[in-house]
Amino acid sequence: MQMKQFYLFVLFLLLAPAFAGAQAISINTDASNPDPSAILDVKSTDKGVLAPRMTTAQRTAIATPAAGLLVYDTDTDSFWYFDNGIWNQVASIALPPPLASGANNTVIPIPDNNPTGITSIINLTQAGVIDGNTQIKVCIDITHTADADLDISLMAPDGTTIDLSSDNGTFSDNYTNTCFTTALAPGVTNNNFLAPFTGFWTPEQPFSNFINKPIMGNWTLKVVDDRNTDVGQLNWWSIEIPSKSIAPALLSDKDSDTKVQVEKNPDEDIIRFELSGTEGMVLRKTATGSPRLELTDVLANTFIGQSAGASNTTGFQNTANGWAALYSNTIGSQNTANGFNALRSNTTGGAKHRQWSASAVFQHLRFLQHRQWSASAVFQHRRRL
């Protein structure tokens, strides 16, 4: 204890002159003086400076943060600094470049007082699903002499649409490098006199409306001028979704209409298989937790096996189990075909057509010969086959 107090006393003697004269402080092992431009100069070749670490909730709960305040967010695995009234992520240091991002620089005139407006598309090619932790940033640049005339919306690839800003800004001009974000930022609807809205804003409707929606596909920005006289143009816009926000819950083709999706809805514990935009198979649990596979055919058909039911068009309530079973069936209904090539040639027949493959029947008859059935029972059983 005495030795610890001695070291503290020595440290005090070393630092006291610096504090007394508001001089710079140097922390190092080579006794070098601090840089003249620094109030604190730390030098080391084998250690670093550890910033305060906290969750997103703890960071955003800091009361009246000072401009330049720096913390490390353990939820986003990145540094954040406070400036101009909002928290800003140091993404260029902590995060890799976004996997899902794009920009459209095509200038499009905005027609005056026209409900059709204009649309501009950005195609994102990264597969993934938006979740509750997803951060989205949409930036726009519009030249217009009356922002209050404009309704600006964003549509996701599945058609879900949110208002970014509608009839805001009174008669002020332009949206100049305006970015809508999921981060803590002023609401665009609460600042009608701050056009051209340069900087970061939360949109009129939340990005959370896109939760569980696919990332891949066409994202569409729509701008409508709903009043007379003033005109303008869309100069450019961009969208960015950081890589960590892309949930690996989706396997999808390029246009996102054929996919395997885990938990489309929160905590549903279901795997869904979708072909050409139609959900065809679902893996879920029974009441006791055992797995069960559902074939969700609207015509109540069940086809299992290579080429089974391959030609079916409007036939309903058919069950085919086996290679090429009911292969040629088109409109025949309520058939049951089990085994290799079972009812392969049937096209329109229904209800009474039940067939086993020849090999299956042969094996079954051999089995019957080893049982002590009466001759009449065997005859009746053969008729049923």
In this structure, whether the domain defined by 100-245 belongs to CATH 2.60.120.260 is answered with: yes
pLDDT confidence of residue 365: 54
Least reliable range by pLDDT among 20-29, 91-100, 215-224:
91-100
Residue 184: partners with Cβ closer than 8 Å, 6 or more residues away? 60, 86, 87
Q: CA 253 to CA 260: how far, in whole Å?
A: 10
Under a CB-based contact definition with an 8 Å cutoff, are residues 155 and 271 in contact? no
Give yes or no for residue 239 having a pLDDT over 80.
yes
CA 45 to chain centre: 41
pLDDT category at 138 given cuts 50, 70, 90 is very high
Side by side, the strands of the sheet bearing 150-155 are 114-124, 217-225, 150-155, 161-166
pLDDT confidence of residue 107: 95
pLDDT category at 43 given cuts 50, 70, 90 is confident
pLDDT category at 169 given cuts 50, 70, 90 is confident
Q: CA 286 to CA 273: how far, in whole Å?
A: 18
Q: Where are the domains of the chain?
A: 2-94, 100-245, 257-295
pLDDT confidence of residue 119: 95
pTM of the predicted structure, to 2 decimals: 0.45
pLDDT category at 94 given cuts 50, 70, 90 is very low
User: How many percent of the chain have pLDDT more than 70?
Assistant: 76
Hey, which residues does 81 pair with through a beta bridge? 70, 88
Give yes or no for residue 93 having a pLDDT over 60.
no
Give yes or no for residue 55 having a pLDDT over 50.
yes
Task: Report pLDDT digits (tens) over 178-222.
Answer: 889 876 667 777 655 567 888 888 898 999 899 888 888 999 999
User: HSE of 305 in the Cβ direction (CA atoms, 13 Å)?
Assistant: 20
Task: Report pLDDT digits (tens) over 329-383.
Answer: 999 999 999 988 888 899 988 875 555 555 555 555 555 555 555 555 545 545 5
Give yes or no for residue 8 having a pLDDT over 50.
no
pLDDT confidence of residue 360: 55
Q: CA 81 to CA 92: how far, in whole Å?
A: 13
Phi, psi (5° rounding) for residue 177? Answer: 45, 55
Residue 322: partners with Cβ closer than 8 Å, 6 or more residues away? 304, 305, 308, 337, 338, 339, 340, 341, 342, 357
Average pLDDT on 161-190 reads 82
Average pLDDT across the chain, whole number: 79
